[in-house]
Amino acid sequence: MAIIMDGNGRWAQARGLPRSMGHYFGAEAARRIVRQAARAGVTHLTLFGFSSENWRRPATEIADLMHLLRNYLRRDVAALHENGVRLRVIGAREGLAPDIVALIDRAEQRTAANAGLTLTIALNYGGRADLATAARRLAEAAVAGSLDPAAIDETALAGALPSAPLPDPDLLIRTGGEQRISNFLLWQLAYAEMLFVERFWPDFSVEDFAAAITEFRRRDRRFGSLKANMV
């Protein structure tokens, strides 16, 4: 499962609060949904925390977001670890503050052997950059003579993605009412079921999460084939 956690700013604005408060309660929603996903037996949850395009926001808002991220990495990793969660971060480490990179490294190492929910947080992540890096890696291997260009297939490209080995999400949820991907997991979302919900992310509840799973179960996934009973 993958989630584009959108609508923090509008949630705050609707209450006459600063956008930073929306991000604060957005982080609370993330804690709630991570806990619930683990309980519900979800194996992989990927959260879009900060896109490579979010640097276009005002410096004060970026600072607020990084502050919340630091808090999360400092205060929440112990509880995640106790609950068997494996934490991974995808996205470009370059551009993130060195202390945040160190916190990420430590959290990933600490939780690496956990066998419960794999929680992947996308930070400074862009789907196109992910694909471009994979292309560059394959080209370098080809030039170095260790890879035959004829051997470059979907498996090779998927394996060369910096986000690998992230499995393809079965379900993508985007909160906040916008119906777009915003450069999230372009490769992996090829056959994901998409669910766009109006609710702003800070209001996204355990009940909304359960309703999303119920809706997903109703979907008829064909992967280009026909319904099972029509074959």
Quote the distance between the C-alpha of residue 82 and its chain's center. Answer: 22
Q: Quick check: 193 binds Mg ion (CB under 5 A)?
A: no
| 82 three-state secondary structure | helix
Q: Quick check: 12 binds Mg ion (CB under 5 A)?
A: no
Q: Quick check: 7 binds ligand IPE (CB under 6 A)?
A: yes
Under a CB-based contact definition with an 8 Å cutoff, are residues 69 and 143 in contact?
no
The residue (of 50 and 209) whose beta carbon lies closer to ligand IPE is 50
| Residue 4 contact among Mg ion, ligand IPE, none, beta carbon within 5 to 8 Å by kind | ligand IPE
Q: Quick check: 65 binds ligand IPE (CB under 6 A)?
A: yes
Kindly state the smallest distance separating residue 11's Cβ from ligand IPE, in Å: 6
Kindly state the smallest distance separating residue 229's Cβ from ligand IPE, in Å: 38
Under a CB-based contact definition with an 8 Å cutoff, are residues 134 and 161 in contact?
yes
Q: Quick check: 6 binds ligand IPE (CB under 6 A)?
A: yes
Task: Single out the residue of 24, 25, 50, 187 in contact with ligand IPE (rule: CB under 6 A).
Answer: 50
Kindly state the smallest distance separating residue 176's Cβ from Mg ion, in Å: 6
Q: HEC states along 170-215?
A: CEEEECCCCCCCCCCCCCCCCCCEEEECCCCHHHCCHHHHHHHHHH
Q: Please give the angle made by the CA atoms of 32, 37 and 38, to the nearest 5 degrees.
A: 100
Enumerate binding residues for Mg ion (CB under 5 A): 6
